[in-house]
Chains A and B, each alone.
Chain A
């Protein structure tokens, strides 16, 4: 029982990070049909910039804020400089552009910072909390709490605010949205900025548990993508559910089967989803009226 509980806890923590990455995917996808594979780099930047800002002398909260601002700036730049000029190109082209951007960001970060692993201290200490026979870190609670709050905030935003509804309108039909006066460019910028912020927060929350380095973004993006696919690309509830499922299944298989194939789990999930339920758990089938 204690083994199961332990795997569950670490699965939930890791799953929360995947959920945040998946949420980032969802927002940009909803605004533009683009899958932004640089999403993982937003998480990486959140962690790395916080560490270096902190190491340079800023107290941790300010360093985290600085990291968020930097990452949002990067997200906006990505939209303006990479996606913007290519507007009108096919979605596939845009996706490939984001892959290129992710490689570029990795390279620049390597040069500006370094290739080593870094972590900073946990927000409320390192003493593990005993729950029955398993332990959970206080930082894990921060991650789960943070993810929960972000999800709630996004739900309120999309369902209860005009701007949020405008973004959903963009997803439904971009031309129609523009015709009723929704500023498509501003919505895109907002989508990227928001995704970047969420990614950065995920990075800041998880780094005390799992040290960050320039390379962490790539695998995170792929797993977050698996989570988003599983939950239904475009559905925030799906993103969170998918993320948690991927995280838990990963840790369970690592614990009960073999740790060697842990990373394959996410990819098996993508394949299974595409074969069995292509629209994901919460996704709606795309219907075109003729």
Chain B
């Protein structure tokens, strides 16, 4: 008798809380964010998280979206793709988010895509590799430039300088591996010949062996280093240590002051493709991106008291693109939001102008990428 009553009470309580939960969900717009706030990719994930937090606070202060406040559901994966997948499932099943802006790295993103595709919930990724949106998946988008674009931008610059034979040294994380493959794929188009091809583990602490091999390969005129976080910083320092003088190119995976800090003065003269955000104030006033990037830079640096990085910019763009789509859809239905995401046109973000379509879930073109050079410990825009 008592047990029966107990069971009944329990069921009623559960049912009430379930009602309560759904009632609550309708008051807030829940957006998920699974990021690598700590761990090897914290280089990228920490600015991601900081940006989203201050951005959502700011939007809520100004009245929220469709009259409702946004609730940012943020999980830290510690840069572990397995955790990313677990959090993705939690976002869908427990938190019932209507969309996600997250997936700091390519590895974490690829782990989460199947979850979001199956649940038919839009996922705006902050990862770099082109494989995230090519082939196009119905609910997956991304804001950063692809590794393919990075290769093309670097090769464009090499061609301009009359350099054709390069050595590559690539990190074996998902992004580094992907960019290594992409560069090999587009090299022919730019008349580039890859005469040395070395790799290093993402957690390695010494790349002198690989660089020595590149150094002693005849004819190397420049070196390209796909990768992100501290790997490229170590490569750069080892580069200087070995007395290598041919031009060194990094990818946009190092587009943060932390790279310059870790690499020290070995970073002098290193070139990389990155968004105009890093050189915001140095842009000519006529540059169409200037007002957006300067505004974000000011916002981020004043609120968080840390230097701006493109990774925060990508998160900023992702959230803004999502908000615009929600407003246009005038609904919190994930499928409708996805449809509106695909109609994003002429959106000026920190990474460049975005024009999406059902076959293009990223929307950036090569003009969005600028070639930068590190001079005296700071970013300089190359003409």
Contact = CB atoms under 8 A, between A and B. Distances in A.
B206 A10 contact: yes
Interface stretch (B141-149, B193-201, B275-283, B309-317): B193-201
Interface string A86-109: 000000000000000000000000
Given A10-B208, A130-B243, A251-B209, A115 B216 contact: no
B204 interface: yes
A128 B212 contact: no
Interface stretch (A1-9, A146-154, A157-165, A176-184): A1-9
Interface residues of A, number: 29
Contacts of B242: 6, 128, 135
Contact of A128 (B203, B206, B243): B243
A144 B198 CA distance: 28
B241 A137 contact: yes
Contacts of B38: 115
B209 A210 contact: no
A254 interface: yes
Interface in B233-286: 233-234, 240-243, 258, 262, 264-266
A2 B214 CA distance: 12
Contact of A135 (B205, B234, B241, B258): B241
Interface string A242-279: 00000000010011000110110000000000000000
A115 B42 contact: yes
Given A115-B39, A259-B210, A260-B199, A126 B241 contact: yes
Contact of A6 (B42, B78, B205, B208): B208
Contacts of B209: 6-7, 10, 251, 254-255, 259
B213 interface: yes
Contacts of A155: none
Contact of B204 (A2, A215, A262): A262
Contacts, number: 75
B323 to A, nearest CB: 31
A3 B264 contact: no
Nearest to B258: A116
B291 interface: no
Interface residues of B, number: 32
B213 A3 contact: yes
A211 B205 contact: yes
A15 to B, nearest CB: 12
Contacts of A260: 172, 199, 201
Contacts of A123: none
Interface centre among B78, B203, B206, B264 (most CB of A within 10 A): B206
Contacts of B240: 126, 128
B230 interface: yes
A135 B201 CA distance: 23
B199 A6 contact: no
B213 A135 contact: no
A121 B230 CA distance: 17
Contacts of A119: 262
A256 to B, nearest CB: 9
A208 to B, nearest CB: 10
B230 A211 contact: yes
Interface string B57-97: 00000000000000000000010000000000000000000
Interface of B: 38-39, 42-43, 78, 172, 198-201, 203-206, 208-210, 212-213, 216, 230, 233-234, 240-243, 258, 262, 264-266
Given A14-B206, A255-B212, 12 more contacts: A3-B213, A7-B208, A7-B209, A7-B212, A115-B39, A117-B230, A126-B240, A126-B266, A210-B234, A215-B203, A254-B209, A254-B210
Leading 4 A-B pairs by shortest Cβ distance? A255-B209, A210-B205, A254-B209, A6-B212
